[in-house]
Structure 1
Amino acid sequence: MSATERAIGLPLPDGAVITVGTFDGVHRGHHDVLTTLVRHARARGVPSVVITFDPHPLEVVNPAVAPLLLTLRDEKLALFAEAGVSYVAVLPFTATLAAFEAERFVDEVLLGRFAMRELLVGHDHGFGRGRMGDIDVLRTLGQSRDFQVVVLPPVHTADGSAISSTAIRQALAAGELERAALGLGRPYSISGEVVRGDQRGRTIGYPTLNLAPLSERKLLPPDGVYAVRVQLPEGAYGGMLNLGPRPTVGDLVRRIETHVFDAGADWYGARIRLDFVARLRGTRPFAGLDALKSQLAEDERQARALLATAEPTAALS
C-alpha cells in the first residue's frame, strides 16, 4: 500500500514497525531508515508506519532558529510513498505535544495509538520534552514495555561527511547544488501550480511556465538562472529556470519562471516539479531586450549541454 496520511490511531491489530522524526528533505540518511523500516515490517508481517510532525518542531519550541524547509508537507508525503511505507501519520506539533515526556509519548502515542512492536531510529535521535528521549531511554523503555529498538548508523558521503538536513541546507544556501544532491540522493526540487504570468517571454521567443508563489517556509537556492528538469504530468523535459527578479524590464518581484525545451502546451492549473540540475549564472540587468535574448540563447545552449550528461530523474506519477 502506498503511503497515505491518516488520522491519529490506525487499525493495527498485529502491531506495527515504526519510525519517528521530522524527516526534512527525506535525504539519503532518512532513506536508509525507511528502507530498513519497510524490510523489518515485511519480515514481521505487519505494517510500516512513519510518524512525522507539522509544523517543524522548532517552529513551536524555538521559532527564532526554525530552519527553512527542504521539503514541505506534500513533498514529504510523496517521498514517503516512493519509499513504500504502509502509512504516514502527520501529528500536529503543538506546545502540548512538545511538553510530553518521552515515556508519555511512547506510552500514549507509539504504543497506545499505533501498537508499536519495533522502533527504528537514527543514531542521534531524541524526542519528548527537551529531546530527553535519547537512545538509552528508548532502550530502557523497550525492555520494560516489550518493544525492540533498532538504532541505525549515520550515512556518509564519499568524502566522509555525515549526511544531515542541516548540511544540505547549507549547501543549497551557498548554491552548491551538486553537494546538496549528493546528500539528498536526488536533485533538489520545488513543486507548485502553473499560473498565468504576464506572457512577456513569448514576445522574445522564450515562453515560460510561471509557478504560483511558494510557501515562505520553503528553502530556495540563490537567485539566478538554472538548468532544470521539468516534471510535467505527461513526462520529463529539459528546461532553464529564472529564479528571482527581472531587472532588464524593471520587475523586482522574485519569481519562478521556466522555459521548457521541445514542448508546448497549456499547463495552467497543472502541478509540476522542477529539479535543479546546475546553476548557469546570477541575475543581472542587460542593456536591452536584444542583449537579453542573446544571453538567453547562450543559457539554453549551456543548459542543454548540461542536461544531456545529467542523470535523468523520475517524472510525476
Structure 2
Amino acid sequence: MTHLPALRFTSVTDLAEFPDHLRGAVVAIGNFDGVHRGHRAVLDAALAVAHGREVPAFVLTFEPHPRTVFAPDKPVFRLTPAEERAKIVAAYGFDGIVTAPFTRAFASIEAEAFVEDILRQRMGIVHAVTGYDFHFGRARRGTPEFLVEAGAADGFGVTIVTAETDESGEAVSSSRIRAALAEGDVTLANALLGYRWFFSAEVAHGDKRGRELGYPTANLALAEETALAHGIYAVRVRVDGRVHDGVASFGRRPTFDNGAPLFEVHLFDFTGDLYGRKMEVMLAGHLRPEERFDSAEALVDQMNRDSAEARVLLASLTPLGDLDLALNAWPDQ
C-alpha cells in the first residue's frame, strides 16, 4: 500500500502532552523496531481504518525497548532508534508518533488502567490496531483478546493483525533482521525491512590512518549494542543534504590496533571536512568479512578491490519501493 506523508506530523515523548488534534484518532500500537514488513501490515490496517473514518492516525510506541529495561545487561540491538523510527512513521503517512517512556513503573500499570487512562481518557482513540503478539500491562495481562474485549466495553474498535510471512513462509520479525545483520546478510535484512537499513551518527575525529593510506574516512561510533557483522560494506550516505557513494569498514582494525569497533566511511570522489556533522548511512551490500593483513600495502591493494566492487554494486542500485525511495539517499534527490 502506498501512502503520502502527512502534511502535519507531530512527535510526542510525554504522554501528559498528548495533543488535542490527535484525539479521536486511530492508533497503531507496538514496539515497531525496524518498522519492517510485518509491522507495516499493522500500519496499513490502521491507516485504512483512519481513512475510512476520515480521522487522524498515529503510532504509539515505547522507548527504550522493554527487553532492555528488564535485562539492562543485555541491551537490544536497535534497528531503528527513536529518531529513525519517527522518520519512517512520518514517511509512511501517519499524523504523529507518541513515544511513551518505558520504565518498570510503566510496565506495572494494570492492563485495565492502560486502556482506560491512556487510550480512552488521555488519547480518546476511536480504534486501535496491533499485532497478534502485542501484550501490555502488569504481568503482560493485556493480551490481544483482552484489548478486543476492552474496546467492545469502552466503545472503540480493535483490529488484531496476524503474522506477516515472507516468500519462504517464515515470519517477518525484528529478531530475524537483527540476526541477518549480525551475519552480514544485508540482502536478507533489507528484503525483510522492505527498505535498505540505515543509521545516523555524528562524524568524529579518528587517528587519521585512512588518510595516510590514501583512503580518508569519516569515523562513526555506533551504539555499543549494535551487533552488525564486522566487515566491508558498500554504502550510500547523505550529509549536508548531499548524496555520496562510498565503501565502509566496520570492525576493530586488526591490521593495526584491534581497538573498539568503529564504522569508517570512505566517500568516493570527495574532499572536505565532515567533522561534527551528522551522516546518514544506508547499507547497500556486504562485500567481505573483516581481515588482518600482513602489511599496509596488502591492505591498500584489497581496499582498491573493495572500492571497485562497491562502485559496481552502487551503480546498479535501485530503490526497493516507495518507502526506500522516501527514506534513503538517492542521486537525484
Q: TM-score, normalised by structure 2?
A: 0.88
For residues 215 and 314 of structure 2, what CA distance do their matches in structure 1 show?
18
**Paired residue for 2:223?**
215
Q: Using a 3 Å threshold, how does the CA distance of structure 1 residues 310 and 13 change in structure 2: closer, same or farther? A: closer
For residues 220-231 of structure 1, what are the structure 2 equivalents within 5 Å?
220-231=227-238
**Paired residue for 1:140?**
149
Whether 1:4 aligns to 2:40 is: no
Q: How many residues align?
A: 315
Q: Using a 3 Å threshold, how does the CA distance of structure 1 residues 244 and 84 change in structure 2: closer, same or farther? A: same
Q: Aligned match of 2:196 in 187, 197, 222? A: 187
**After alignment, is 62-71 or 259-268 more displaced?**
62-71
Query: Could you tell me how far 1:64 is from its partner in structure 2?
Result: 5.4
**Paired residue for 1:315?**
329
For residues 29 and 156 of structure 1, what CA distance do their matches in structure 2 show?
7
Specify the code of the residue in structure 1 equivalent to 2:279.
Answer: I
**Paired residue for 1:299?**
306
Query: What SS class does the counterpart of residue 210 from structure 1 fall into?
Result: strand
Query: Could you tell me how far 1:2 is from its partner in structure 2?
Result: 4.5
- Supply the RMSD in Å over aligned alpha carbons: 2.0
For residues 158 and 225 of structure 1, what CA distance do their matches in structure 2 show?
28
Specify the code of the residue in structure 2 equivalent to 1:231.
Answer: R
Whether 1:245 aligns to 2:252 is: yes
Percent identity, aligned pairs only? 37
Specify the code of the residue in structure 1 equivalent to 2:10.
Answer: T
For residues 136 and 77 of structure 1, what CA distance do their matches in structure 2 show?
28
Query: Which runs of no fewer than 5 residues in structure 2 stay unpaired?
Result: 1-6, 320-324
Query: Could you tell me how far 1:294 is from its partner in structure 2?
Result: 0.9
For residues 93 and 99 of structure 1, what CA distance do their matches in structure 2 show?
10
For residues 286 and 181 of structure 1, what CA distance do their matches in structure 2 show?
30
**After alignment, is 38-47 or 221-230 more displaced?**
38-47
Q: Using a 3 Å threshold, how does the CA distance of structure 1 residues 261 and 143 change in structure 2: closer, same or farther? A: same
Q: Aligned match of 1:236 in 220, 235, 243? A: 243
Contact 1:233/1:315 (8 A) holds in 2: no
Query: Which runs of no fewer than 5 residues in structure 1 stay unpaired?
Result: none
For residues 11 and 79 of structure 1, what CA distance do their matches in structure 2 show?
23
For residues 1-317 of structure 1, what are the structure 2 equivalents within 5 Å?
1-6=7-12, 7-8=14-15, 9-12=18-21, 15-63=24-72, 66-211=75-220, 213-217=221-225, 219-312=226-319, 314-315=328-329
Query: What SS class does the counterpart of residue 87 from structure 2 fall into?
Result: helix
Query: Could you tell me how far 1:145 is from its partner in structure 2?
Result: 0.6
Q: Using a 3 Å threshold, how does the CA distance of structure 1 residues 258 and 5 change in structure 2: closer, same or farther? A: same
1:191-247 Cα shifts (integer Å, max 9, x gaps): 101122222222222111111x23324x23111111111222333322111101223
Contact 2:247/2:267 (8 A) holds in 1: yes
Specify the code of the residue in structure 1 equivalent to 2:314.
Answer: L
Query: Could you tell me how far 1:65 is from its partner in structure 2?
Result: 5.7
Q: TM-score, normalised by structure 1?
A: 0.92
For residues 29 and 292 of structure 1, what CA distance do their matches in structure 2 show?
41
Specify the code of the residue in structure 1 equivalent to 2:135.
Answer: G
Contact 1:224/1:242 (8 A) holds in 2: yes
For residues 74 and 266 of structure 2, what CA distance do their matches in structure 1 show?
36
For residues 29 and 2 of structure 1, what CA distance do their matches in structure 2 show?
26
For residues 45 and 75 of structure 1, what CA distance do their matches in structure 2 show?
27
Contact 2:245/2:267 (8 A) holds in 1: yes
Runs of 4+ residues deviating >3 angstroms: 61-66
Query: What SS class does the counterpart of residue 41 from structure 1 fall into?
Result: helix
